[in-house]
Structure 1
Amino acid sequence: MPDKKYWESSRIHVSGLIVSQYVDTPSHFQSKMTLGEWLKKEKIPALVISDTRYLTQKLRDQGAQLAKIIFNKDIDFDDSNKKNSVATVSTLRVSKEGKGIKTVVLIDCGVKKNITRSLLTRGIKMITVPWNFDVFSLKEKFDGVIVSNGPGDPKMVDVTIETVKKVLAKKIPLLGICLGNQILALAAGGDTYKMKFGHRGQNQPCVMVGTKHCYLTTQNHGFAINEIPKGFSPWFINANDNTNEGIIHKKYPFMSVQFHPEATPGPVDTGWVFDYFLKRI
């Protein structure tokens, strides 16, 4: 585990961890603590199971499903899709960072810190707000809105969806990332669905619609858009399964991507998405 300044969040967000092999001798030059020490510190249960392939086969056949780790006492299954998981990870306060001519409001649905870093390095003033905050109550004038990544079913994030509807009505430039992609679709009249497996990993190929450009992207989502809202066009599609990876409005500066342009970890092929958005505000 590296120094905290390199983290993408302030804490571990998984409820448990299963690995096929654990090596307790870290060799990375940035390491400050072993994985085992970190898990114990944050009270996260973990198991070493040599036959993880058996679990993989069950997931391959049946798709993503509920699971639990039992040690001594049985526990109930916890279905995160039946609750608003965003409310458990979003910031609780409004914060302001950076200096610049342009001001962007970042709606934190569980934002990765490299989204913040990516924006600040581009010389903007950024106001980060909770998922259920009324952005129009801010005293500052803002030039654009970004809806971040986050966990769970996008349809549970009702207040953010309503906020985005108001942003669209006022023709304020908007960029959605990951969960933000799904929220934009729902706010504009589209629809989303739960995928059988979801997209996980650092090498998901995405093709920009209308071009031969294919980008390697970082992804971690279990929901996707299955109905493009009126007035929008597909922006990117997944080269593996042709699922939607982003939408863009035909007239106004509203756009979103299902992948993570900020990477960390993964390829930085799509960092230009931030530049494209900022040029349109």
Structure 2
Amino acid sequence: MAHPAHPSPSGGFAPAFVERVLADALRSGARIYGISGLQGTGKSTLAAQLVRAAAARGLRAATVSLDDFYLDRPARQALGRRVHPLLATRGPPGTHDLPLALRTLDALRAGVPTRLPGFDKLGDRRLALAQWPRIEGIELAVFEGWFLGTPAEDASALDTPLNALERDEDGDGRWRRWCNAALARDYPALWARIDRLLFLQPPGFEVVPGWRWEQERALQRAEPARTGMDRAAVMRFVQHYERVGRQALRTLPDIADVAIALDADRRPQSG
């Protein structure tokens, strides 16, 4: 059973590539197979394809996304008032419900009945509990997220702003230091739940804003009656992710069990 996939601009990966990734997951004996990759790399697309391929083999599989564990908007707004206004924006470390994520992954590993949370990105709200699908007996859970496995930066790396958002809205570094501390303190327990990690590696961070814009347009095409972000808003939004995204690019090729280089059209160049 698959959790509904997030809309993606990608047309999907080649079946032969999907089969190779599934073979890697099954050969490793992973119950929780992680897919890490920056925004727009095709993580949710690949996860959904893996679940369909597993189902074709008679296996019970499900996808779960780090995005589905975002704190709800009121909780992030409260965090923004208490710590820093930028924490009202979902995505960076410290804006996830980690106890819920840990409970969910542990239940998936044990194969016991559980509900998979969901998040409405256009509405920027967590879905109501009644909308969370109930599943059990899962043999393979594909867990995807934009910075799965990424370690925190050294404190000295946080001194200089790296984009306009950090320069203009986090001049004293309080937001980025808080997020980095959360990444160091709270996320290793989540990363430890991942049995095997695959990294979809883009050619560089410079492709991410365009890929995220394509993703936003796909979200809006899926629900044309609703309002999403315009391109300027997406470009600003991506800056919230840039620091940790660049850290992922530096570190995950050596941390992940499998690293798959993608070209500018998201075509796998290895693996």
Structure 1-normalised TM-score?
0.28
Higher relative contact order (CA 8 A, sep 6+): 2
In our comparison, the structure showing a higher alpha carbon Rg is 1
In terms of fraction of residues, the more helix-rich structure is 2
Structure 2-normalised TM-score?
0.28
In terms of fraction of residues, the more strand-rich structure is 1
